[in-house]
Structure 1
Amino acid sequence: MALSATLYTFAVQLADVDRGVYQDMDLRVARHPSETAEYMLTRVLAYCLEYEDGISFSDGGVSSDEAPVLVRDLTGHVTAWIDVGAPDVDRIHRAAKLADRVAIYTHRDPVKVLAALPAKRIHKSDAIPVYSFDSAFVEDAAAAIERRTAVSVSVTERLLYLDLGGAAFSTQIEEHRLA
């Protein structure tokens, strides 16, 4: 018998000063059995940091051919493909051809992620940012997640402040490029 996803509910207060985005939202996130808490947290942070009209979590799991976070316009066209973790080079190449914009958020060592994504094999690789969070930040914050969590996400000058149910964390959002 296959294991089913576990549903997490996040009451998010987002204040992204860098982009001028201020939003309160309720997110229901299905954590798939093969998904780590660190991956799920990175997925939620990517959603918050990329928030705009038309954003949604995909229906697919960790190994799906669809991005964990997508932005679609009113016609259904994918305007942004937001990947998480250490995606496959072929997947990112396809994404760069499909979507207007691609971004990768990782909780893993960015040097290893970048090494696994050779720029010469990826369409428009020079336009794809890879954002990384300190691994200790992600591990500590992931340990504070409960099935229902109040979350405050604040970003100013690429410094991320995160409050998960009263536990406070902060880290610098590092930006890297494939090319």
Structure 2
Amino acid sequence: MAIKATVHKATLQIADMDRNLYATHQVTLAREPSETDERMMVRLLAYALHVPADDHDGALAFARGAADAEEPDLWQHSLSGEVRQWIEVGQPDERRLVRAAGRADRVLLYTYSSAAHIWWAGVQNKLTRLNNLWVWQLPAAQSQALAELAARSMQLQVTVQDGQVWIGNNERSVEVHPAPLKAPTSKY
């Protein structure tokens, strides 16, 4: 019998001064048996950094990601069905990112772990032509510290200012500095 996903619930109080977004979101995450707390928390961070101010152009939602090769970790569909944002976490195959770039207006990738720079060196040249791809690297120590915030039920405050992110609960806080590895020349 297959092991089922573990359900985690989080209340995110977001104060994103860079986007002038102040909101509280209740989210439910399914953590697949093969997924680590670190990866789940990076998904949650990506959600907090890209959730739209309103749902007029569709809501950002957790997709099946690791459980389905055809879906990202998060995505936003417009009300007419187009994929506005396709968000991946980890070190996906470059062909997956190329396919995503053909399907979505905007593709975002958050890579983490101490081996991320080695992975990036191997795929960087293959992804340069993708004009709708953004790639950020989270330092391994910071993504591991995020994992320590993981719980089945979480109350988290997320503050973003000048590209710096603080995420924490009542007991501890983690400062995260996403480093841009690739950004298109034109703004989204």
User: Is this a same-fold pair by TM over 0.5?
Assistant: yes
Q: Could you tell me which amino acid in structure 2 is paired with residue 65 of structure 1? A: E
> How large is the Cα RMSD of the aligned pairs?
1.9
Matched, 1:146 2:142: no
Q: Which moved more, 1:52-61 or 1:1-10?
A: 52-61
- Specify the SS of the correspondent of 1:39: helix
97 and 119 in structure 1: CA distance in 2 versus 1, 3 angstrom threshold: farther
165 and 34 in structure 1: CA distance in 2 versus 1, 3 angstrom threshold: farther
**2:149/2:168 contact within 8 Å kept:** no
Aligned to 2:110: 105
Aligned to 1:116: 122
119 and 81 in structure 1: CA distance in 2 versus 1, 3 angstrom threshold: farther
Aligned to 1:16: 16
Task: Tell me by how many angstroms 1:124 deviates.
Answer: 3.9
**2:105/2:132 contact within 8 Å kept:** no
Give the TM-score normalised by the residue count of structure 1. Answer: 0.91
- Specify the SS of the correspondent of 2:66: coil
136 and 123 in structure 1: CA distance in 2 versus 1, 3 angstrom threshold: closer
Give the TM-score normalised by the residue count of structure 2. Answer: 0.87
**1:18/1:155 contact within 8 Å kept:** yes
- Specify the SS of the correspondent of 2:110: strand
Q: Could you tell me which amino acid in structure 2 is paired with residue 30 of structure 1? A: A
Q: Could you tell me which amino acid in structure 1 is paired with residue 105 of structure 2? A: D
Match of 2:86 among 56, 81, 84: 81
173 and 95 in structure 1: CA distance in 2 versus 1, 3 angstrom threshold: same
Q: Could you tell me which amino acid in structure 1 is paired with residue 21 of structure 2? A: V
- Aligned positions, number: 178
Identity of matched residues, %: 30
- Specify the SS of the correspondent of 2:48: helix
**2:42/2:146 contact within 8 Å kept:** no
Measure, in 1, the Cα distance between the counterparts of 2:124 and 2:174: 33
Task: Tell me by how many angstroms 1:26 deviates.
Answer: 0.6
Task: Tell me by how many angstroms 1:145 deviates.
Answer: 1.4
Q: Could you tell me which amino acid in structure 1 is paired with residue 136 of structure 2? A: Y
Q: Which moved more, 1:100-109 or 1:82-91?
A: 100-109
Q: Which moved more, 1:143-152 or 1:31-40?
A: 143-152
Deviations 1:87-139 (A, max 9, x none): 1111000001110111101222442232232433x484244221122211211
Match of 2:161 among 147, 156, 159: 156
Measure, in 2, the Cα distance between the counterparts of 1:113 and 1:127: 20
Unaligned runs of 5+ in 2: none
Match of 1:133 among 135, 138, 145: 138
Unaligned runs of 5+ in 1: none
Measure, in 2, the Cα distance between the counterparts of 1:124 and 1:99: 15
Please list every run of at least 4 consecutive aligned residues from structure 1 whose deviation after the TM superposition is greater than 3 angstroms.
none
73 and 126 in structure 1: CA distance in 2 versus 1, 3 angstrom threshold: closer
Aligned to 2:64: 59
Measure, in 2, the Cα distance between the counterparts of 1:51 and 1:114: 26
